[in-house]
Amino acid sequence: MSRIKISNFGPIKKGFSNNDGWMDIPKITLFIGNQGSGKSTIAKLISTLTWIEKALVRGDFQEKDLTIYNRFKKYCAYQNIGNYFQEKTCIEYKGVAYNIFYKDGNTKVEKNSYSKFLFPKIMYVPADRNFLSSVDRPSLLKRLPSTLYTFLDELEAAKQEIKGSLILPIGDVRFEYSKQNKISYIVGNDYKIRLSESSSGFQSFVPLYLVSKYLSEFLNKEHDASIKQNSVEESKRITKELEKILSNPHLTEELKNAAIELLSSKNKYASFINIVEEPEQNLFPSSQRNILNSLLEFANNSDGNKLIMTTHSPYIINYLSVSIQGFCLKEKKLTDELLGKLNRVVPVKSIVNPLDIVVYQLNEADGTIQKLPQFEGIPSDKNYLNSSLMEANQLFDSLLEIEEEI
């Protein structure tokens, strides 16, 4: 499990209040808080640090690029958080293969001793993804944020994989893509409209669902995933490394085979880290449940997969609690009949072990982070999101009190 420690970075001041400031990033991690509290900041930083760790393992650049040339800020700028650094910024990351530390303007890298590194495909799903659905040919757009271009690349690849119609988990509708005209469609029982003409909920949900489903299933395919996923530059580097191994006269055939196997493991994806901003965006509560269940199912497809989310929706936490309770029930060795009933409430593929979940609350007033308490594995209902719902009831009670005084 990776861990991260942050202070004095963007809106985050003191950082996490427990565990000496270290936040665990387990299989399912959720960040909640007001606007400007730092939810996306942490998500983007996790995305950047896990990508740096992967790049170091793969050999895209050397440790000295981070330590001597101090390019850490440059990589953070890709996620548009390059200007969040302050004089007292402290960032620490502990991964499987590498530990990365930033303090006093300097970066330090430590290589860990590890036996297995699950090479991750990292996808950051930005909140402005619905912009890509508002036009028919988003690939022609210019001057988009870097993260949106990266997401668009995977979205276009996901569309190319679709054969015929794809049933969507929200509404009684399907998704179709015309490869000839490069136009996306939403298809119902008696209508067919362009995605660009559909509701804002579909425009936000469809790109998220397509990319998450595509990348999750991609890892399970039998062909070599590295071939399709590597860029031209990466492919040239792999070829160069392979030629170097094969032409080395000092290596026995056994050592060459071992080196080639290591090279392959460093370039073949074995896990999927899905980092999603606001999965509930523009969706009705029941639709939020459906998209959450889909994302949890994709995370469950592999032991090394992770799902990291930011949210403003109390329903996301509540439906997550349902998935946790579903796991606890399934552990009681249900009969087939009861298992069927459970599956109708929450898909068994989407249930989650409470040990694999953590919810963090961010406070924009003092820049602190707290871990949401759990009761028997269920996230506490005393959280910022539910407090806002209670506030509305309290405000209404105050109005009734005023009415009584008239």
Three-state SS string over 295-337 comes to HHHHHHCCCCCEEEEEECCHHHHHHHHHHHHHHHHHCCCCCHH
CA dist 298 → 40, 87, 131, 223, 246 (Å):
21, 40, 24, 19, 38
**45-60 pLDDT per residue, tens:** 999 999 999 999 888 8
pTM of the model: 0.86
Bridge partners (DSSP) listed for residue 371: 360
pLDDT single digits (tens) 240-292: 666 676 677 777 766 656 655 555 555 678 899 999 999 999 999 999 999 99
Is the distance from CB of 269 to CB of 219 less than 8 angstroms? yes
**Residue 257 pLDDT:** 60
- What whole-number distance in Å separates Cα of residue 403 and Cα of residue 355? 48
pLDDT at 266: 57
Write down the pLDDT at residue 291: 97
How confident is the model at residue 121, as a pLDDT?
A: 93
Flag residues of the chain having pLDDT under 50.
Answer: 222-229, 232
Which of 55, 105, 103, 127 has its CA nearest to residue 275?
127
Unique residue bearing structure tokens 């299989």 = 27
